[in-house]
Amino acid sequence: MALDVPALDGVDRNTLREQSLHKLREAISSGQLAPGTRLIETELSDALSVSRGTLREALRHLVQEGLVVSGERGRLLVRALTPSEIRDIFAVRRSLETLAVETLCEMPERGDVVQALRESLNKLRDTEQNLADLVEADLGFHRHLCQLTGNETLVQSWQHISGLTRATISRSGQELALRNIDWKRHVPIVDAIEAGDVDRARDVVRSHMRETTERIVALLEE
């Protein structure tokens, strides 16, 4: 199993685990480790230059995140998401982010919130970035929506499905991914929050998620 990643050496065990986890997430999201790929410990530990113990810890995290599943005889495989599962993931995101914008709209002082969100949007406008960086900027904006509410349970719930979200968007191909994460699609969300218009913010988020979901599912079902 050839992974195009630099060796992880010269750092402590915890850092090695986190870096291994990051590299594996990237490989899964980019499709370098395609859905259905069997993850063989010896090959991955050699590719990352880490111990099998460190690798196992990283793989356990990926199982918890839903990016990796256990198949026959305990073999670990990169999870292949069905259209139904993708709809479920984005339905949860839609509910979480609807709660986020409702909370933000009801804040009496929203100036700092709006400024922070517009700064997040600026990262999406940087056309010099590669697709992976733009996907991270997109997720960063939506994560920020949740973080600015101050509701830690909301943030943790959103974070729990962020790996699956990242993989779904990245695997949809560059053309569709760029359409879905276009910064202009996010402006109405910020505008509605700035106006304190709960109904409009709710409708914009729901429409945003529904459109993204159906585009990705339509591609899978072609």
Token pair listed for 105 = 């709209």
3-class SS of residue 70: strand
Q: What is the mean pLDDT of each run of 10 residues along the chain (222 residues)?
A: 50 74 85 90 92 93 89 89 95 98 96 96 83 89 97 97 89 88 96 98 97 94 79
* pLDDT number for residue 4: 57
* pLDDT number for residue 9: 46
Tens-digit pLDDT profile for residues 17-27: 888 988 998 88
Query: From CA 209, how far away is CA 131, in angstroms rounded?
Result: 20
* pLDDT number for residue 11: 42
CATH of domain 83-220: 1.20.120.530
* pLDDT number for residue 13: 59
Query: From CA 140, how far away is CA 194, in angstroms rounded?
Result: 19
> Any idea where the domains of the chain sit in the sequence?
13-78, 83-220
Provide the 8-state DSSP code for 10: S
Prediction pTM value: 0.82
Q: Please, is 76 exposed, middle or buried when counting C-beta atoms within 10 Å of its C-beta (0-12, 13-18, 19+)?
A: buried
The dihedral formed by the CA atoms of 71, 76, 80 and 85, expressed in degrees to the nearest 10: 70
Write the single-letter amino acid at 213: T
**Beta carbons of 192 and 201 less than 8 angstroms apart:** yes
The top-level CATH class assigned to 13-78 is mainly alpha
* pLDDT number for residue 128: 74
Tens-digit pLDDT profile for residues 74-115: 899 999 999 999 999 999 999 999 999 999 999 999 999 999
